[in-house]
Structure 1
Amino acid sequence: MRAFCNRLKKYRALEGVPYRLEIYRMVDVSESRTELMRRHCPKQVEFRTFDFDEYPAYVRMLFQYRWKHLIIAQMLMESPLVFWVDSSVRFHNDPKQSIWTVIDFAKRPESLNVVQLCDTGHKIFPVTMKEMFMRFSYPEEQTKKLNMCAGGVILWIRSPKTINILKEMVVCSLEKECMAPKGARLHCDSTVIKMGNKFAGCHRFDQSALSVVLSKEANFDLSRYAYTEGELTFLKVERGT
């Protein structure tokens, strides 16, 4: 988190822009630890603790990621734009590209007003259990053609489109076997994950659900919900730094 905040403070595209940095604590974090993070983060930082007591017990299973779109839905009620990023994201100053590039992309008339920014390198089908396709009445063959986008970097603009999308995501998050069909696990068979037409024996939970919901809403047109204008240079995912 220190590296994320240090880089964000140096990101010039947000200078003078009124924004809030919301950091959610999913587990108990001491006040001393919180204060240490606060010292490294921009002055706009706010720390929140996710209230698991408001939800069914299975929402506490962190690696099913049910909490993610519950948070995003809440944030989009409070703010007209939400940029969800993992702490592994690093912002880079680039005169040719910035967060405003993505905001403009999300505002196109044909856009769903949501933009996923990182490609996983594989299709939806290998990493999504068939029960999820059935749950959303989704044509399975389409998932063998469509790339899956990562769930860690997504920009949302509040609109009737995104409100409806998030309603579906919240319902799925709270429905026990929608987000996590029986037998769902994260670990994939690495020998087949790149094969678009073979199941890799794993499930990506929120990432799978969002891929299904967005692509169906977009009539399977990736450009309506994912950045398709070339390489992203203003941010990178840099784990372990």
Structure 2
Amino acid sequence: MLEKDPNVKVTKFNYKKYPSYVKNWMEYRFKALILAEAIRDHSNVWWIDAHTRWKTPKPLETFYGELAQCKKDPDCDKESSLMMFINSSHSNFAVLNTGLLDYFPTYGLDTLKKNEKGLQLSAMFVYLARTPFTLEILKCHDNYPNRLSEYRKFRHTLCALEEKCMNPPNSKLKCDVIPSWDAYAGCFRYDQSSLNILMFNAFRNHNHYFMNVGELSRTYNHY
């Protein structure tokens, strides 16, 4: 149906040019790589998982209108050119395989356990504008300040290409218990965890890159 729509261009992802483990679809590396390819070619990019429904009337007008209003408001805390929209209803810590921290050291696990600043946001619905900040998050820059360690240079795209970064040892998608806040649920969120840790490291508060853009739904439940 999409291919027959004159307003839609369908592009096939060429996974063969990447390491063989990129084809392990349940590790979700392809999402980071497609984002990098898309932001290379387009100044504004929306990632929307196939099972996601955006129900707000005229949703694009709503989003861009809120962004424009925010720019005029000195008290607005939305400071990011990469925005996320869906509350995962659990903390980053609850689904964090700490092997990821070998590549992305963070400022402390306590904040990652709390709803106030360390909420994990879903990677199934993301907006990106091509800015220096967005490019820093998605890929490696040699001149990025080395604040924590040499591994701080790793970015979301490179994590997808590094076998043990986006799939640390003992990772699994299915949780032992429903994820909540200060207890590890025995599971990992792959690209979602990678992106959330990078964004948290940049802002230390998810509210700077979390927006409510109306009614969203999905066609199945995760748990």
TM range (shorter): 0.7 to 0.9
1:98 and 2:59 correspond: yes
1:172 to 2:172 alignment: no
Secondary structure, aligned partner of 1:46: coil
Q: Aligned residue for 2:208?
A: 224
Secondary structure class of the residue paired with 2:10: strand
Distance 1:224 1:84 in 2: 19
Shift of 1:45: 1.1
Aligned length: 194
Q: Which has the higher contact order (CA 8 A, sep 6+)?
A: 2
Aligned residue among 188, 206, 209 for 2:175:
188
* Structure 1 alignment gaps of length 5 or more: 1-35
CA distance, structure 2, for counterparts of residue 105 and residue 165 of structure 1: 23
Give CA-to-partner distance per residue, 1:151-186, whole Å, 9 cap, x none: 100010110010101111111110111101011000
The answer to whether the Cα contact below 8 Å between 2:88 and 2:121 also exists between their aligned partners in 1 is yes
TM-score between both structures, scaled by the size of structure 1: 0.74
Following superposition, the deviation at residue 105 of structure 1 comes to: 5.0
Greater helix share, structure number:
1
Tell me, in whole angstroms, the C-alpha distance in 2 between the residues paired with 1:147 and 1:37: 34
Q: Is the 8 A contact 2:177 2:186 kept in 1?
A: no
Equivalent residue for 1:150?
122
Q: Structure 1's 179 and 105: CA in aligned 2 closer, same or farther, altered over 3 A?
A: farther
Aligned to 1:4: none
What SS does the aligned partner of 1:69 have? helix
CA contact (8 A) 1:106 1:115 kept: no
* 1:180 alignment partner AA: N
Aligned-residue identity in percent: 24
CA distance in 1, matches of 2:95, 2:102: 15
Inter-CA distance 54–91: structure 2 relative to 1 (3 Å threshold): same
Superposition CA RMSD, Å: 1.9
- Kindly state the Cα deviation for residue 99 of structure 1 after the two structures are TM-superposed: 2.0
Gaps spanning 5+ residues in structure 2: where?
Answer: 72-77, 140-154
